[in-house]
Amino acid sequence: MTTADTGPGQATPASASAGAGGPAAATGGSLRLRGVGMDYQRPARRRGARGDAEADGAPAGHVPALADVDLAVEPGEFVCIVGASGSGKSTLLRLVAGLIRPTSGEVTLDGVPIDGPGPQRGLVSQTGSLFPWRTAAANVAFGLELVGLSRAERARRVAWYLREVGLEQFADRLPGQLSGGQRQRVAIARALACEPRVVLLDEPFGALDVQTKEDMQLFLRQVWADTGTTVLMVTHDVEEAVFLGQRVVVLASDPGRVVADLPVRLPADRDHATRRDPRFLALRAEVEDLVRAHHRAHDARAAMVGQRAGGQPAGARQ
């Protein structure tokens, strides 16, 4: 396990104040998806009682969630993937996390194929999925116990990462005694504590109110600057993607595929004024149009599938 005595390169309030005992500078984190496809198996759905949206009589078969996805993320990059609901965002992150295997193509980290979950890839979900019976500190320690670090090293990392997310005074609180934003900070600290080569975030702020979400976005940019880690985040929120990312990758639906990969030409120092920057507004509009265009195509196809499956279009019912 490589752990440097000092924090990573950039001197920031968080890393400067910690002195010895800071995190290792991130190493590696070069992620590649080549020709990645993912089909889920869907069981046949019985035609059922009225009001059951699932009971449309659809036959068993493949659900193509992703098709022919090529994506490269370089070490230390912050890439946001944006797309409508159902465009395969979570599927893509689950593939990189090693929770599922692609039907075709390959996913590699630093040239090595991903064949299961591992501590080099920390995943944070929308709800954080903390263990409710563990304190904040014990949640952050969880992954460190799995990789067998000594008690002293665990304590050092837990203290460092709780301080990095501004929660050192909440170490002994249970998740139920924390706000939604604080719980997500613990989840991010838990992912960072393993010093992963890439942090994967699946709509991590989707359940938070607008003010908390904006605070968390600034916080995440700061953590990224402090740790130098590679970040791959998915969100349906275009504004969030443009505000956070150095690149925004747009997914279309049915099947999920990359339709645009756009650089975000904004200063590295982002704050609330960034949201009024003409370059920000122009890119946000461009990405919104792309997401909307590809979502419409999805709606139109879904309506045709509904008709073929034997249902009449809603307007035709008398």
Ligand X SMILES: Nc1ncnc2c1ncn2[C@@H]1O[C@H](COP(=O)(O)OP(=O)(O)O)[C@@H](O)[C@H]1O
Contact (Cβ atoms closer than 8 angstroms) between residue 271 and residue 241: no
Q: CB nearer to ligand X: give 63 or 138.
A: 63
Among 10, 17, 85, 307, binds ligand X (CB under 6 A): 85
The total number of residues written for the chain in this structure = 318
Which residue's CB atom is positioned nearest to Mg ion?
90
How many residues interact with ligand X (rule CB under 6 A)? 13
For 182-246, list the strands marked E by DSSP.
198-202, 230-235
Q: If binding is defined by CB under 6 A, does position 65 make contact with ligand X?
A: yes
Q: CB nearer to Mg ion: give 227 or 253.
A: 253
Among 29, 76, 88, 196, binds ligand X (CB under 6 A): 88
Distance, CA of 159 to CA of 304 (rounded, Å)? 55
Q: CB nearer to Mg ion: give 90 or 139.
A: 90
User: Per-residue contact track with ligand X, 238 to 277, x per CB under 6 A?
Assistant: ------------------x---------------------
Taking the complex as a whole, the smallest distance from the CB of residue 259 to ligand X amounts, in Å, to 14
Q: If binding is defined by CB under 6 A, does position 159 make contact with ligand X?
A: no
CA distances from 127 to 25, 204, 207, 224 (A): 28, 7, 7, 20
Contact (Cβ atoms closer than 8 angstroms) between residue 253 and residue 294: yes
Taking the complex as a whole, the smallest distance from the CB of residue 205 to ligand X amounts, in Å, to 15
Among 83, 122, 228, 245, binds ligand X (CB under 6 A): 83
The pair phi, psi for residue 246, each rounded to 5°, is -90, -25
- The residues, any chain, with a CB within 8 Å of residue 98's CB and separated by 6 or more, are 114, 115, 116, 117, 118, 121
Q: CB nearer to Mg ion: give 85 or 169.
A: 85
Q: If binding is defined by CB under 6 A, does position 22 make contact with ligand X?
A: no
Q: If binding is defined by CB under 6 A, does position 90 make contact with ligand X?
A: yes
Distance, CA of 66 to CA of 77 (rounded, Å)? 23
Q: Which residues of 167-206 are buried (b: 16+ CB within 10 A; e: fewer)?
A: beebbebbbeebebbbbbbbbbbbbbbbbbbbbbbbbbbe
Distance, CA of 87 to CA of 66 (rounded, Å)? 8
User: Per-residue contact track with Mg ion, 78 to 117, x per CB under 5 A?
Assistant: -----------xx---------------------------
230-235 vs 198-202, strand pairing mode: parallel
Question: Which does residue 85 bind out of ligand X, Mg ion, none, counting CB within 5 to 8 angstroms by kind?
Answer: ligand X
Q: If binding is defined by CB under 6 A, does position 102 make contact with ligand X?
A: no
Q: CB nearer to Mg ion: give 89 or 213.
A: 89
Q: CB nearer to Mg ion: give 94 or 163.
A: 94
Q: If binding is defined by CB under 6 A, does position 40 make contact with ligand X?
A: yes
Distance, CA of 228 to CA of 250 (rounded, Å)? 24
What is the DSSP annotation of 2-23?
A: ---SS--SS--HHHHHH-TT-P
Q: CB nearer to Mg ion: give 14 or 71.
A: 71
Region near ligand X per CB under 6 A, out of 82-90, 184-192, 206-214, 217-225: 82-90
Quick count: other Cβ atoms within 10 Å of Cβ 147? 12
Residues that bind Mg ion in the complex, under the rule CB under 5 A: 89-90
**Residues at the site binding ligand X, with contacts judged by CB under 6 A:** 40, 42, 63, 65, 83, 85-91, 256
